[in-house]
């Protein structure tokens, strides 16, 4: 799989480390139940998903990759610090 790093260009996936779904946000609620749900209760969607990837063997930036979980086709990538805006 080839990942289009916004900083370095297209690279092989072996240069990256994935963190998973970029959607969940840390809860404002300090309860144990809310934090447990944030850490462990995740959906496993079929189709387009936004994921965090770290370019460990390159520019060392976090990026958000839009990837199809069925075909593994990459539909785009953005630096994570810009994706939050």
The pLDDT tens digits of the residues spanning 18-44 come to 998 998 888 998 899 999 998 898 888
The structure's pTM equals: 0.83
Cβ-based neighbour number of residue 48 at 10 Å: 12
Q: Is the pLDDT of residue 85 over 70?
A: no
Supply the pLDDT for residue 78: 95
Supply the pLDDT for residue 33: 93
Supply the pLDDT for residue 84: 65
13, with CB counted inside 10 A (0-12, 13-18, 19+), is middle
Place of tokens 């144990």: 32
């Amino acid at each position: 799989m080839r990942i289009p790093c916004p900083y370095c260009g297209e690279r092989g996936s072996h240069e990256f480390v994935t963190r998973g779904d970029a959607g969940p946000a840390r809860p404002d609620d300090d309860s144990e139940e809310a934090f447990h749900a944030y850490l462990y209760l995740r959906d496993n969607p079929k189709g387009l998903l936004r994921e965090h990837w770290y370019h460990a063997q390159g520019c060392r930036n976090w990026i958000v990759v839009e990837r199809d979980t069925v075909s593994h086709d990459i539909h785009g990538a953005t630096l994570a610090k810009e994706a939050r805006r």
